[in-house]
Each structure stands twice: as structure tokens, then as C-alpha cells.
Chains A and B, each alone.
Chain A
Amino acid sequence: MTLSGRDAYRDELTALAAEDASLLCLEADLGGKNHPFQIAHPGRFFNVGIAEGAMVDMAAGLAAGGYKPFVSTFAPFAALRAAESLKLTLGYLNAGVTVVAPYAGVSGAWFGTTHHCLEDLAVLRSVPGVTIAAPYGEAEMRAVIRSAARSGRPHYIRTGRNATYESLDWTGAQPPLVNWEFEADPDDICLVSVGEEGTRLALEARATTEVSHAHLVYLDHEHLAEAATELARRHTRFVVVEEHRSQGGVAEALALLLPRCEVTAVGAGQEWPSTGGDHQEVMTALGLDLPAVLAGVARARHGLPAAATAAGHAHACVR
């Protein structure tokens, strides 16, 4: 049985820490009981309590002291409440600290607006030097955690809540820069998927439309610049699916990186998700569902401008 992103993180880090005594695990009261790292390595596990900014800054001190801290709290609290600490610790200090941020996007679902995070990529992508990853599936999360632990460089890793996803295939030790999950007519559009739900929706849309699908795992500027070069070698029209606001998201970045291509964004717009429901129901309320992706594909195929969805939310069309 496959693990959710955050369970895969906990499991992988716990295993890595058996071989690497410099790995530490810090939580801010949201790691849950019976954390496997705490059980296996109690002397290197710290639940600092509800203190996100202090946790990230203390991780800077721990990194300066020779350790590789992995800190975790919900994405809205990591990326927004502790944003200045991330800027200084991950960015300016370039400290070997990894932030693992579950509850990204609207995976907090019925917990409400305070627990949603549709802005974290915009915040982190603007901080130079931070490796940003949004793994899809257990294997990809494990690979990203291994890479972060080996590198000792600053990472921000976003994931969802408890949902599980079947990993995509790839060869080699690490997921490729661009995972060409399905390749079709290069003259047709190409779906570009980001994160867990963006990839799930892209896979569903690809099965319906038979267009190409390229999956990205690393989303910082340096990785996206390389990915954009590879994307442009095979296609000229892209539909980017991401569980993030279009402002500051990956579609916007690719549009700047691919000025001679057409990039259509299917993501969250300006709305504040404020109603209950499960994860997918909240996404639907935002206008981020399979019909929206298919509409995006149709618009991109026929060169149409952005259209209002049935839910009344105009999707950004970055062209």
C-alpha cells in the first residue's frame, strides 16, 4: 500500500537518520503522536510546540552547529507565518534546512481558509537559492527527501494531507527534471502537471484527451528554467495544472521562461475557499477540477481566450 506524502517523508527521514547522525527532525505540534522519527531517534527529535518562526530560526542555529534539520509544519504556517524566517534561513543564510510543508493547496479542505495555502510557491519562488519540490506519490517524495538530506542545501517541500497517489514511473535514482509520462503529437498541446492534485487531474485529462503530459517535481526558478528548455524542444503550447493561485505559480513562471510559447494556467484564481467539503469538493468550488482542465485544454487547442467556468470563476490565461 502506498503512503501519503507526509507519511512517506516521516518514514524516509527516519530510515536515513539511522545512517546519518546529523539529521534532526523538528515538529511544531502538528507531527502527530507516535512519530516514527521520535520512536527511532528520540535524542534527535524535537517537538518545539506551536512556534513556527522559532522552529525555523532555531534550525538555522542547528545547521550552523553542524546538523541537517528537517522541520515540518502545515504549509500556511511555514510559508506565511514563518515567511521572514524562511527568507533569512533558507535564502540569505543558505542554511542546510529542509522545510516539509503538508496541507498545501486546499488539502486542509473542511478545516477552512486558515488551513489552506495557495500562496506558498509565490512566496518561496521569490527567495533565491531555495530548492522547491512538490512530489507526486510515495516514490517521488522518498527520492526528494533523500536528495535533500544528501545535499545539505535549503529545501521547501510541499505535500498534501493524507491522500495517496500511485507514483509515476521513471528510471534512475532520482526523478527526471521533466517526467514525460505520456508523449503524443508535438503539434498538439502538452499538459504540464505540478504537485499531487495537479498531477492527478492532468492524468485524468490526458486519459480523455490523449495529449502529452509532462510532470515536474522541482519548481524553483533554476529547475524550471532547465525544464522550460526541455519542454520547448517538444511543444509550443502548454496547459499547466497546479493547486495554487495563478499569481506566482508555475504557469506564470513558465510563461516568462517561454516567451515564444503559449502557456495556459489552470489553477486557483482570486477566490478564497471558504466552504466545507472534502479536498476535491473544495477544489471544485474553486473551479479547479477535471472539467476545468478539459476546458483549459480546449481553449489552448483552439487559441481561445480565458473563459468563465460554470462555477463563475475566470481562470487565468497566461498568454
Chain B
Amino acid sequence: MTAVLDGPTGTEALAATLAERALEARRLVVDMAASERGCHLGGSLSVLDILVAALHRSSAADGTEVVLSKGHAAAGLYAALYVSGMLPENPAPLYGRAGRPYTGHPGPKVPGVRFPTGSLGHGVPYAAGWALARRIGGQGGLGIAVAGDGELQEGLVWETCQVAAAQELGNFVLVVDRNGGQNDGLVADISPLPGLTERFAAFGFEVAETDGHDPAALAELFAGDRSAARRPLAVVAHTVKGKGVPAVEGKAGSHYVTIDATRAAKWKRAIR
């Protein structure tokens, strides 16, 4: 367990640190949107605060592994890894370039990335398998999967939830970046997810709902010692697609964006 919450002062200081990292990461994501390739901007921005907080937990080297299952948000992951000190080079100028590992969906050639994700659903069982390995070995640490809400349409997610509950994988955490969007539009229009918290509860999960942009709340959720827990944890994190960039915030059209350098500079100045 990391020393995340050692009093109000510590909590506030940590929240401020994570918030600052997320701001820096957002600027990098906009830089990647301004690359020749463009990027999945909206989902990268919505998931950033979650990733930064989860990577803070894993940086304690207690065996916690963070798997970005919604691999299309690779730009967000690269940026989060960099600002968390887990990626030694700035990925933004190298993103999408020949000979560099920063592809549109992440793979294990990127430092800090263990599993390939992007075909949706797979990151969830990867993290569950990691959690099971830690448990078999009597070791601490969490297997944290960060999935999109659209991704929950994949059967593999629920297959894994069934297994995780049956195996009493209390050290498995599934975080849902609930930004309400997917490739072709809104989740609510394409394949809605009513009663999501109740669904996880029915699968035998502990369930928490949180503001997915609140670093203190996220850090607290990830800080827990779950070595004795018998039920996996689902975190429904309510987020905003395109969060932090007013020009695209809350817009389904932010799903994949390619912009020029001038617009990128403007957007970066407006980041909040």
C-alpha cells in the first residue's frame, strides 16, 4: 500500500501533484493530436486523471499493474506514463513515427506497458490474470484494468467479471472510464448501459462510483490494501469526453482528432 493518505495535508498535496501531472499530460495529448497521425483525443483526455492516479499506485512498486484496456486511448497512456516518471522520453514528438513504439494502440515495446491492448476487452482479463498471479504467490499489489464504457459491450469483459468474482479476486480492480462516448456516437444511443453499478454488484463486485476527474478521490480508491478482500472492485468513474480542452469537452466528435500546430497551441493555452 502506498503512503497516499497520511492526513489532510498529505491528501491535498498528493491531489495537487496528480492534478499538475494530468495538466501536463493533457498538453502532451494535444501535441499528439497535432501529429501527422492524430489521436483518439476525447477518450485520452477523459481517462487521464484515472491513469495518473492508478500509475501513482503502481509507482510504489508493490506489484500493482495498470492495464489500459481501452487501448485506443494510447496517447493518454503515453502521456500519463511520461508525467509519472515511468517513461524516460517525451512520447509526443515520437508518436506514430516509424521505428518508434508509440503506435495508435499500445504494446509491450513501450516502457511501462506489459500487454498489447486495443482490440477491446482483453486488458480486463490480462489484469485479472495478473491479480491471480499475485494472489497465488501470496504477494501484494493490484491488477488494475482501465476500461471504457463502450468497451463494456464486449462479452470478454463480462466473461472475466464472472471468473474474477468466482475466484474471489479481491485484488482485481476494474475501472470504467464512463465518458458516454464510443466510435460511432454515444453509448446511450448505440448500446446503453442502464444500471451499471447494479450489474457489477450482481456479479459479486464491490462497487464504487466517483468523479473520474477528482484526483484525491481516485487516489484514495487506488490506495486501499485489498490483500484480504474477497470481492473484486469495480469503480465507475464518471468522466467527460475531451476533458480539459474546452473546444472539444463533452463532444462525441472528439473521439478521433487531427489538428494543426496553430490550433494545438491555442488548445494548450486553454487547458484547465
Contact = CB atoms under 8 A, between A and B. Distances in A.
Contact of B163 (A49, A62, A88): A49
B136 interface: yes
Contacts of A49: 162-163, 166
B108 A62 contact: no
A88 B116 contact: yes
Given A54-B159, A61-B143, A65-B134, A85 B122 contact: yes
B33 interface: no
A61 B119 contact: no
Nearest to B130: A61
Contacts of A58: 125-126, 128-129, 132, 160, 163
B162 A61 contact: no
Given A54-B163, A67-B136, A88 B129 contact: no
A51 interface: yes
Contacts of A51: 159-160, 162-163
Contacts of A15: none
B interface SS class:
helix
A272 interface: no
B128 A61 contact: yes
Interface in B108-125: 108, 114-116, 119, 121-122, 124-125
B218 interface: no
Interface in A60-81: 60-67
B99 interface: no
A46 B166 CA distance: 10
Nearest to A53: B156
Contact of A61 (B107, B116, B133): B133
B167 to A, nearest CB: 7
A54 B163 CA distance: 8
A98 to B, nearest CB: 15
B131 interface: yes
A46 B108 CA distance: 27
A interface SS class:
helix
Contact of B119 (A62, A67, A88): A88
Nearest to A51: B159
A8 B114 CA distance: 34
Contacts of B107: 92
B137 interface: yes
A59 interface: yes
A84 B119 contact: yes
B133 A54 contact: no
B22 interface: no
A92 B143 CA distance: 21
Nearest to B126: A61
B132 A46 contact: yes
Given A24-B136, A46-B167, A64 B130 contact: yes
Give the one of B115, B128, B137, B162 with max A CB within 10 A: B115
Contacts of B80: none
Given A61-B143, A64-B114, A54 B137 contact: no
B132 A61 contact: yes
A43 interface: yes
Give the one of A49, A53, A92 with max B CB within 10 A: A53
A84 B119 CA distance: 9
A9 B114 CA distance: 30
Contacts of B155: 53
Contacts of A93: 108, 115-116
Contacts of B160: 51, 54, 57-58
21 contacts: A24-B136, A44-B136, A48-B163, A49-B162, A53-B125, A53-B156, A54-B128, A57-B126, A58-B126, A58-B160, A58-B163, A59-B129, A60-B126, A61-B129, A61-B132, A62-B136, A64-B115, A64-B133, A65-B134, A66-B137, A92-B107
* Across the A-B interface, the 3 shortest Cβ-Cβ residue pairs: A61-B129, A65-B133, A58-B129
Given A57-B125, A67-B136, A88-B116, 20 more contacts: A43-B136, A46-B132, A49-B162, A53-B121, A54-B128, A55-B163, A57-B160, A61-B127, A61-B132, A61-B133, A62-B130, A62-B132, A62-B133, A64-B115, A64-B129, A64-B130, A65-B136, A92-B107, A93-B115, A93-B116
